[in-house]
A and B are shown apart, each in its own frame.
Chain A
Amino acid sequence: MRHGKARFVIGFLSIPLIVYVYYVIWPFAQAAGYSWTDWDGYSDKPPALVGLDNYARLFKDELFKTAFWHNVFFLVTVPLFTITLALFFAFLLNVGGRGNRAGVQGIWGSGLYKIIFFFPQVLSLAVIAVMWQQIYAGNPQGLINGVLMKIGLVDPNNPLQFTADPQPFLGVPAVLWWLLLIAVWGGVGFYMVLFSAAMQSIPRDIYEAALLDGAGPVTSFLRVTLPLLRDTVSVAWVYLGFIALDMYALVYVMTPSQGGPNHTSEIFASVLNFTAFNKGQFGYACAMGVALAIFALLLAAAQLRFTRRERIEY
């Protein structure tokens, strides 16, 4: 019987595993291999091995450095704003309401809010980008510009430029802030649902005990909810870090000349795409990809390591 079970499991697992290794793991390995060469992507002349040259070049590449700092900006801001907002909403929806005889509950209409907040999650990123392009359009047809012009807050001769605006705000080009807004808007719903689920597994009596001891909503959030959600938040932080390292769809669809204006929204992926496909330097582009992968893995490892703590049983 046991033998039959093993065969059964292997039978089902082997095919997806082979497909996964062949189509996912193997290409990754190949990319690493190509990153040691000067392969150009179009010819099948055997590419020359160049050792670590491509990686050495990365450190001297101004454009890559610019892109790096833009990704770092997203790496800090995307998780920070998304998690803060998601926690805030999840708390309101689950335990933010008035405590009464029925015990601790969410604010009125929380079921509806959950659906509304989650909605962006069902749209693909490209759809979101195209939709926001209309919202952000830098002319009277744009949703925001149109409304603000009607009520006289924006000068029709000087519309807001959104993703075409390179002027720095707090030292970071405005275009990045506008992209950040979309990323956070698109991400909050999912993490709100995630945190809601985690909060629902926290026993109500803890909140009620806190309530009896005179804790207001702020105190119970900081002293009860947050410590008990530590694991979930930590995992969310890692996921959001990966999203922040990507951001490609938004940059590709929404910025002028894909990474513009004048390189102010250049990110890893846009530089990689330009290097591979426009310049025909696949070997170098693969080195960028590998560097990005290593960076992401280190980041995730560090993140999980720093937030590790004794688990609280409840």
Chain B
Amino acid sequence: MSDSPDTSSELSRRHVLRAAAAAGLLATPVVGALAGCAGSSPSTRSGSGAKSADNPFGVADGSKVNVVVFDGGLGTEYAEKDKGIFTTKHPKVTVNLGKTQKIKTEEQPKFSTTPSDLINNSGADAMATDVLVNDGAIVDLTDLLDATTWEGSGTVRDSLLPGTINDGTYNGKFYTLKYAYTVWGMWYDAALFEKNGWTAPKTFDDFFALAPKIKAANMAPFVVDNKHGYYPRWHILATIWKSAGKQAAIDIDNLKPGAWKADGVLAAVSAMEKIVKDKLILPGFYDHTQSQQAHLDHKAAFIQLGTWYKNEMAKTIPSGFKLTLSDYWSVSSADKAPNDVFAGAGEDWVVPAKAPNKEGAKEFLRAMLSVDGAGQFASLTASLSSRKGSGDKVSDETLASANAVMKSAPKDLISWRFPDYYADFDKESQNQCEELMAGRLTAQGLIDKMQAMADKIAGDSSIKKQTRTS
């Protein structure tokens, strides 16, 4: 096998992996042998080169870094730019950039033999982080945080936006670098709102007051993704946080008995239920891109999702559509944290414990977190990077609206952990949120089912528990 990247063998290997995984999940060790054959040869098991200020992890010249980037809403072009930045500093290190949407299908079978060095673990086919952490399959990246930045001033730790380190920490160790800084909220067309004299609601009551006017304009007030339960779950969980406050959310994540019955939780879910009951949702079944297109086609006034929206739909945004983000709505004056914003670092990057070139992988992450790399990311994707100041040089109205939401945010960010902690809870919460939005479940029903699932997991000694303190 040659050391140079070979597209056709790469393709056929993927094909084999996918077929094997799909056919019976059984062929793992065999595939491992295959991957070993097609992937890196022992000579690329770099060990360490000399460490220096410019090379804090000691990447060896002549070594090879295999990077796998998720080919989703953010595209892959930014990773190409990072590769350019990386090779400027390390011209003798080869970076192989693989792109895929099937992260788990293609990468999981290689984990116990020769995995890729750096994996963008994202998308619908992402590997469960809790499993990777509990198995010791990925490495602690604390030394990346302590390294100096690419520019050589200050540490990487100090250059990150709030929440990035906390969200990537499991059991007290920093395992995942979440690179894209996403702000979630309600999207609308500012131009349309201006034309009709509507103001974007700040509370559910504002929305319910505005809804008849929107309907009169022959539009649905709201549209949801019915196919992926985690879309409505963002909305429901963000609303619960605003209404019941941070401590209630921490208790829920920690599976505290009766946590779902805390003050404010029912009010939040009931507000969501009212949207369904009052028939304010565009009728029909839509998946994520279909619902987004319906919103762009002015079939619905609002849709909720994160800041990758613009990039994902870039090709079909009508001219004159002023895509604008506003914060999620608060529920009532009794809300405990009405101004907290749902934002955080997403798009996980992990380094497998058995990766042949971990130094190269960490160095690539450092390159991604450079001012240049983060700035390129923001301008290419219209999303913020978790490096501070990535959006400063980008003149984009949509990004500016996201920045504005962030500027009015208090220091606490809405962040939920239980779906990452427990796969069963993840599935159950997605299912029941779908049921609520389809009108087949009441607010009280959802809370009861969530509490039952929390109690079931808490009582199951075979499931390893995780806790959060902040």
Is B104 an interface position by the 8 A CB rule?
Answer: yes
CB interface residues, B 389-445, toward A, < 8 Å = 423-424, 426-427, 430-432, 434-435, 438, 440
- Chain B interface size, as a band, is 35 or more
* Residue in B closest to A31 when the chains form the complex, CB atoms: B26
Contact across chains for B440 and A166 when beta carbons are under 8 A apart: yes
CB distance from B219 to the nearest CB of A (A): 14
Say yes or no for A138: interface residue by CB 8 A criterion: yes
Please determine whether A279 and B26 come into contact, CB atoms closer than 8 angstroms.
no
Taking A42-B108, A289-B26 as contacts, is the C-beta distance between A257 and B137 under 8 angstroms? no
For residue A139, CB closer than 8 A to chain B, the reply is yes
Verify A272–B25 contact, CB threshold 8 A.
yes
Shortest Cβ distance from A263 into B: residue:
B431
Pick the interface stretch among B77-85, B88-96, B148-156, B223-231: B223-231
Contact status of A277 and B137, CB under 8 A, knowing A157-B283, A257-B228, A286-B26: no
Would A41 and B108 be within 8 Å (CB), given that A23-B27, A257-B228, A262-B432 are in contact? yes
Give the dominant DSSP class at A's interface: loop
Are the CB atoms of A27 and B131 closer together than 8 Å? no
Residue A164 interfacial (CB < 8 Å):
yes
Within 8 A of B (CB), among A270-309: 272-274, 276-280, 282, 285-286, 289
CB <8 Å contact, A256 and B26: no
CB of B26 within 8 A of CB of A30, answer yes
Q: Does A26 contact B (CB under 8 A)?
A: yes
Closest residue of B by beta carbon distance from A261: B434
Contact of A257 among B26, B112, B132, B229 (CB under 8 A): B229
Q: Is the CB of B284 within 8 A of A159?
A: yes
- Whether B136 pairs with A43 at a CB distance below 8 angstroms is yes
User: Which residues of A have CB within 8 Å of B22?
Assistant: 248
Question: Are A261 and B438 touching (Cβ within 8 A)?
Answer: yes
Q: Which residues of B contact A285 (CB under 8 A)?
A: 25
The verdict on A205 contacting chain B, using a C-beta distance below 8 Å, is: no
CB-CB contacts of A127-139 with B at 8 A, as 1s and 0s?
0000000000111
Question: Please, which residues of chain A bring their CB within 8 A of the CB of B354?
Answer: 44
Inter-chain contact A137/B111, CB cutoff 8 Å: no
What is the chain A residue whose CB lies nearest that of B137?
Answer: A42
Residues of A within 8 A of B227 (CB): 164, 256-257
- By a beta-carbon cutoff of 8 Å, the part of chain B in contact with chain A is 20, 22, 24-30, 104, 108, 111-112, 127-128, 130-132, 134-137, 226-229, 279, 283-286, 290, 294, 354, 423-424, 426-427, 430-432, 434-435, 438, 440
Q: What are 8 A-B pairs at a CB distance below 8 A?
A: A22-B30, A138-B284, A138-B286, A139-B284, A139-B286, A277-B127, A280-B131, A282-B25
A27-B24, A262-B434 given; name 12 further pairs at CB < 8 Å.
A28-B26, A42-B135, A42-B137, A157-B283, A164-B285, A257-B228, A260-B229, A261-B435, A261-B440, A278-B426, A279-B131, A286-B26
A contacts, CB < 8 Å to B: 22-23, 26-28, 30-31, 40-45, 137-141, 145, 156-159, 161-162, 164, 166, 248, 256-257, 260-263, 272-274, 276-280, 282, 285-286, 289
